[in-house]
Amino acid sequence: MRPAIFLPPPDPGCVLLILVSWLLNPARSEITSLDSGNIDDILNNADVALVNFYADWCRFSQMLHPIFEEASNVIKEEYPDKNQVVFARVDCDQHSDIAQRYRISKYPTLKLFRNGMMMKREYRGQRSVTAIADYIRQQKSNPIREVNDLEEIKSLDRSKRNIIGYFEQKDANNYKTFERVANILHDDCVFLSAFGPISKPERFSGDNVIYKPPGENAPDMVYLGSMTNFDLTYAWTQDKCVPLVREITFENGEELTEEGLPFLILFHMKDDLESLEKFQQEVARQLISEKGTINFLHADCDKFRHPLLHIQKTPADCPVIAIDSFRHMYVLPDFSDLAIPGKLKQFVLDLHSGKLHREFHHGPDPTDVAPGQPIQDLASSPPESSFQKLAPSEHRYTLLREKDEL
């Protein structure tokens, strides 16, 4: 049964014009329709696949169809091999099992796959032929910069995460594994490589991969696992490239909200790295067991002034720690509370138990009131969620459901 969705009516003239143009100018190439019988085979054999998850009754899906097909035509002229780039689509009404498998919650959703592996970041850019074609060209570009002199390593941007591979041969299996990992994680790390005589000083006991973390004085970390084992290499690299505490920006806000987890956020001034380091250390010390139930983030106070105003704070009050549950925002009373053992973890546990929500509406829980002290029902109105506004918009997608949040 289709969900009840209330959207502003589309411009009939605009939609009709696009659809008529699509019918009168049929695509020169066929978009591959995926079903449960062919999806694994087609995606596993494609270097890059862009899949449109759609529903025929969705007006945004209808408008995307001709654009998606024309972008496919443009790209197939540049990459004629059918396995280099695949443009495919899934009718989610007809194949609800596939939609559930990939957790589709809005139409249309454009997901990127590499050799059958779904990438974490879906396409959220402009829905135009040029933008989609440029996106695919970017995905097909080499994610690894080749180093021609080891002196180049000394001038790396140490504000970024750098993964460097030193290999004897470019056509060896060790490098092919490294290349697969780089294709997946190139948005999170800078990947570099050196070969042959150039890399020899760094290959003491064979091919070598090292991680240079942010910070001029941060020590290197060496990968000690099998160089041909993709799963081990990917897991190690992902751990280095995707930090436990991520930065939220206006560019990745929609992606982070769609993960569906509440936010634990440190608001700090951009140059206040000391507070960020303390927050990172306490999250790692107290909250590693909560990973998967809440997102650990940090945000630039100047850029996110509006959420601060929601909790009656300004950049002058930073650093500030808050939780956004997508319904309300809750503030840790004082940043110095971070130094109290277990305080940060209790703050998160109080969110999950509903205690933060209850106390904002009714005052302290009875268990927190001193013996003999009268219990008062203090009605209050907690600040509404600010980051929920970064979630996918009903003016761009047909949203299937709303998640229940604390």
- E-assigned strands of 128-167? 144-146, 162-167
Determine the Cα–Cα distance for residues 207 and 168; give it in Å rounded to an integer. 6
Supply 332's token pair.
């840790």
Q: 212 and 175, same structural domain?
A: yes
Q: 392 and 279, same structural domain?
A: yes
Is residue 365's pLDDT more than 70?
no
- pLDDT tens digits, residue range 10-41? 455 544 554 445 455 544 557 999 999 999 99
Q: 283 and 386, same structural domain?
A: yes
User: Burial letters for 137-172: b for 16+ Cβ neighbours within 10 Å, e otherwise?
Assistant: eebbeebbeebeeeeeeeeeeeeebbbbbbbeeeee
Q: What pLDDT score does 403 carry?
A: 41
Compute CA distances 83 → 44, 129, 314, whole Å: 10, 21, 52
- pLDDT tens digits, residue range 205-223? 999 999 999 888 889 999 9
Q: 43 and 84, same structural domain?
A: yes
Q: 214 and 132, same structural domain?
A: no
Determine the Cα–Cα distance for residues 129 and 361; give it in Å rounded to an integer. 50
- pLDDT tens digits, residue range 281-298? 999 999 999 988 999 999
Which residues are CB-neighbours of 355 under 8 A, at least 6 positions away? 365
Is residue 374's pLDDT more than 90?
no
Compute CA distances 120 → 102, 113, 117, whole Å: 11, 9, 9
Class of residue 40 by CB neighbours under 10 A (exposed 0-12, middle 13-18, buried 19+): exposed
Q: 185 and 106, same structural domain?
A: no
Q: 263 and 395, same structural domain?
A: yes
Q: What pLDDT score does 389 carry?
A: 82
Last residue of a domain, one of 121, 140, 159: 140
Q: 392 and 340, same structural domain?
A: yes
Which region among 112-116, 256-260, 364-368 has the lowest average model confidence (pLDDT)? 364-368
- Mean pLDDT, the chain, as a whole number? 88
Q: What pLDDT score does 135 carry?
A: 96
Which CATH number is 158's domain given?
Answer: 3.40.30.10
**Residue 19 belongs to a domain:** no
Q: What pLDDT score does 341 carry?
A: 94
Where would I find the H helices in 315-380? Answer: 343-353, 355-362
**Residue 170 belongs to a domain:** yes
Q: Scanning the structure block, which residue is given the tokens 């019918």?
A: 23
**Residue 11 belongs to a domain:** no
Is residue 236's pLDDT more than 70?
yes
Domains of the chain: total: 3
Q: Mark residue 40 as left, alpha or beta (left: phi above 0; alpha: psi -120 to 50; beta: remaining).
A: alpha
Is residue 375's pLDDT more than 70?
no
**Residue 354 belongs to a domain:** yes
| pLDDT band, residue 1 (cuts 50/70/90) | very low
Most confident of 3-7, 334-338, 370-374: 334-338
pTM: 0.78
**Residue 12 belongs to a domain:** no
**Residue 304 belongs to a domain:** yes
Range of the domain at 293: 246-364+377-399
Q: What pLDDT score does 280 carry?
A: 95
DSSP state of 101: H
Q: 395 and 274, same structural domain?
A: yes
| pLDDT band, residue 45 (cuts 50/70/90) | very high
Instruction: Name beta bridge partners: 109.
Output: 53
Determine the Cα–Cα distance for residues 108 and 61; give it in Å rounded to an integer. 5
| pLDDT band, residue 361 (cuts 50/70/90) | low
Q: 191 and 49, same structural domain?
A: no
**Residue 258 belongs to a domain:** yes
Q: 93 and 72, same structural domain?
A: yes
Identify the three-state secondary structure at position 329. strand
Last residue of a domain, one of 140, 166, 189: 140
Which residues are CB-neighbours of 386 under 8 A, at least 6 positions away? 306, 307, 310, 324, 329
**Residue 199 belongs to a domain:** yes
Q: What pLDDT score does 120 carry?
A: 86
Compute CA distances 226 → 38, 72, 179, 195, 234, whole Å: 33, 38, 15, 19, 11
Q: 357 and 255, same structural domain?
A: yes
Last residue of a domain, one of 213, 241, 269: 241
Q: What pLDDT score does 362 carry?
A: 59
**Helix axis angle, 343-353 to 355-362, nearest 10°:** 80
User: Burial letters for 220-233: b for 16+ Cβ neighbours within 10 Å, e otherwise?
Assistant: eeebeeebeebeeb
